[in-house]
Amino acid sequence: MREVKSAEAVRRLAEWVERKKTLFIDVSDAIWDFAETRYEEHRSAALLGDVLEKEGFKVQRAAGAIATAVVGGYGQGGPIIAILGEFDALTGLSQHKGEAARAPIEEGGNGHGCGHNLLGSGALAAAVALRHYMEEADLPGTIRYYGCPAEEGGGGKGLMVRQGLFDDVDAAVTWHPGTTNFVMSYSSLATCQVYYRFQGRGAHAGGDAHLGRSALDAVELMNVGCNYLREHLIPEARLHYAITNTGGMSPNVVQAEAEVLYKLRVPRSEQLQDVYERVCNVAKGAALMTGTELSVVFDSGSSELIVNRVLEQLMYEKFVQLGWPTFDDTEEHFAEQIRSTFTAGELKHNLPSELTDKVFADRIEPYTPTAEILPGSTDVGDVSWNVPTVQCWIASMALGTPLHTWQAVSQGGTSIGHKGMLHAGKVIGATVLELLLHPELLEQAKTEHREQLKGRIYKCPFPDDVVPGPLKK
């Protein structure tokens, strides 16, 4: 009986996604055009809020006093299911859509290299379709669309959690654009991002360098020290850095100021403090060696993902029921052109060996629970510490396409991305619908969530006095 009832409900929900697909495509393309980076997604958040209001949701703008966070709710009573959307872009990835060669719209401008224009719009499609189905079926419960800013290095969801926006939520569901179709069954790395700023003393490098104290020397010595430190960290730990201020362009000046931004990653949140302190000690040593002053400015962070097998199995069941996105000859031709821009090494790294003769994924990967850890990070992890959470990846670009590239930007504004986005709306919507129709599944997920945590207590990855903000210009 459950299967028959659920199958009919999923079919009807998918019809709602198709009925309103032009709206979702328009939203996705508008956010692609805006290409706003962390905590500056004002037009994107306003657009999402407007659409939610027109579709009958009660909308909180600047939710949790976060300027670019938006939450739209529909329904009454429990359970309360969150649908997570993102919409921030990346710097330096400006690119014309539908082009198979590097063609920036604005040199050095922003671009949606991680497909978050699709992510937010696909989640919106799920929420809107569910809202209409719930009304016509008189289905109890509450769905909420969470427009989450600043996933790219800004810890937006962690800040939303800290502001109490998930306190009454029973479960959360989301997705991510990618090149293959699968339900994510592994954890991610916990991370934090920290600025190390050195203040020295300027001097003429030729005439009186002995009077100067080089902040750039301090940055370089810190980086050397951290590169030696790597050997003595746990093997899974990662240190990344970018020099964000070299102190100037003249080699004949002792640089009075310089800055480096570090990103630290570890498998478990509890391991982060030790790595952070050791990196800070290296920075202090660099300051001592160069006679400079050090300022440590904590920027943001995110927690590792807590897996939930009950929700993963459910989402996989719905994914299989709905199938995967399919693409036409024109889209395949463009995908082949995109793939010709990758080196053999890039394709080998990003493409499963059994799919080397294909340009698009033509299957759903089997669901296999695993203890493996994604070598990247996501602030979805902060939500998953607080409520049972599940995420799938859906093919929205050519096989072998790395994220955070101009090739991903180009495809994300085309029908290829749109098809993946609309299909995501159906898969997310079907998963949430099953939880509304069968609350016992939600109780099983909650029980597992408590077991997965094993008494571990969530701690926001950045201190209470830190409020992450826009990227440093």
Convert the pLDDT of each residue in 248-275 to its tens digit.
999 999 999 999 999 999 999 999 999 9
Separation of alpha carbons 179 and 176, rounded Å: 10
Question: Regarding predicted confidence, which is higher, 218 or 2?
Answer: 218
**276 phi and psi, to 5 degrees?**
-60, -45
Q: In this model, does residue 245 exceed pLDDT 90?
A: yes
Quick: pLDDT tens for 388-408.
Answer: 999 999 999 999 999 999 999
Q: What percent of the chain has pLDDT over 90?
A: 91
- Encode burial over 250-281: b for 16+ CB neighbours within 10 A, e otherwise: eeebbbbbbbbbbbbbbbebebbeebbebbee
Confidence (pLDDT) at 1? 36
Separation of alpha carbons 152 and 35, rounded Å: 13
Centroid of chain to Cα 275 = 23
Spatial neighbors of 347 by CB under 8 A, at least 6 apart, are 339, 356, 400
Q: In this model, does residue 146 exceed pLDDT 60?
A: yes
Confidence (pLDDT) at 422? 98
Radius of gyration of the chain (CA): 23
Calculate mean pLDDT across residues 409-416. 98
Instruction: State the helix-helix crossing angle for 439-453 and 309-322, rounded to 10 degrees.
Output: 140
- Taking Cα atoms as reference points, which of 264, 285, 267 lies closest to residue 275? 264
- Taking Cα atoms as reference points, which of 98, 114, 129, 135 lies closest to residue 35? 114
SS3 254: strand
Separation of alpha carbons 322 and 423, rounded Å: 8
Q: In this model, does residue 473 exceed pLDDT 90?
A: no
Taking the CB of residue 400, how many other CB atoms lie within 10 A of it? 22
Separation of alpha carbons 460 and 457, rounded Å: 10
Confidence (pLDDT) at 471? 84
Q: In this model, does residue 352 exceed pLDDT 80?
A: no
Q: Is the peptide bond before 79 cis (omega within 30 degrees of 0)?
A: yes
Residue appearing with tokens 């690119």: 95
Question: Regarding predicted confidence, which is higher, 89 or 357?
Answer: 89
Name the amino acid, one letter, at 140. P
Structure-token pair, residue 300:
């943001």
117 with 152: CB under 8 angstroms? no
Give the single-character DSSP code of 402.
P
Q: In this model, does residue 2 exceed pLDDT 70?
A: no
Q: In this model, does residue 4 exceed pLDDT 50?
A: no
pTM over 0.85: yes
Q: In this model, does residue 9 exceed pLDDT 70?
A: yes
Structure-token pair, residue 114:
């991680």
Could you tell me which residues are beta bridge partners of residue 329?
none
Confidence (pLDDT) at 310? 98
**433 phi and psi, to 5 degrees?**
-60, -40
SS3 373: strand
420 with 202: CB under 8 angstroms? no
Quick: pLDDT tens for 419-460.
Answer: 999 999 999 999 999 999 999 999 999 999 999 999 999 999
Confidence (pLDDT) at 345? 77
Q: In this model, does residue 353 exceed pLDDT 90?
A: no
Could you tell me which residues are beta bridge partners of residue 98?
none
Structure-token pair, residue 292:
């400079």
- pLDDT-wise least confident of 6-10, 21-25, 283-287, 448-452: 6-10
Q: In this model, does residue 349 exceed pLDDT 90?
A: no
CA dihedral angle for residue 391, residue 396, residue 400, residue 401, rounded to 10 degrees: -100
Quick: pLDDT tens for 107-138.
Answer: 999 999 999 999 999 999 999 999 999 999 99
Calculate mean pLDDT across residues 338-362. 82
- Taking Cα atoms as reference points, which of 427, 438, 435 lies closest to residue 123? 427
CA dihedral angle for residue 165, residue 168, residue 173, residue 177, rounded to 10 degrees: 0
Q: In this model, does residue 346 exceed pLDDT 90?
A: no
Confidence (pLDDT) at 3? 54
Separation of alpha carbons 263 and 132, rounded Å: 42
Q: In this model, does residue 81 exceed pLDDT 70?
A: yes
Calculate mean pLDDT across residues 364-379. 93
Separation of alpha carbons 93 and 337, rounded Å: 19
Q: In this model, does residue 355 exceed pLDDT 80?
A: no
Spatial neighbors of 406 by CB under 8 A, at least 6 apart, are 93, 95, 102, 104, 111, 113
Q: With bands split at pLDDT 50, 70 and 90, how would you rate the model's confidence at 5?
A: low
Confidence (pLDDT) at 347? 77
Structure-token pair, residue 91:
């710097």
Q: In this model, does residue 7 exceed pLDDT 60?
A: yes
Confidence (pLDDT) at 351? 72
Terminal CA-CA length for the chain: 58
Quick: pLDDT tens for 23-78.
Answer: 999 999 999 999 999 999 999 999 999 999 999 999 999 999 999 999 999 999 99
Calculate mean pLDDT across residues 202-214. 94
Walk me through the domains of the chain, giving residue ranges and CATH numbers: 2-187+304-453 (3.40.630.10), 190-301 (3.30.70.360)
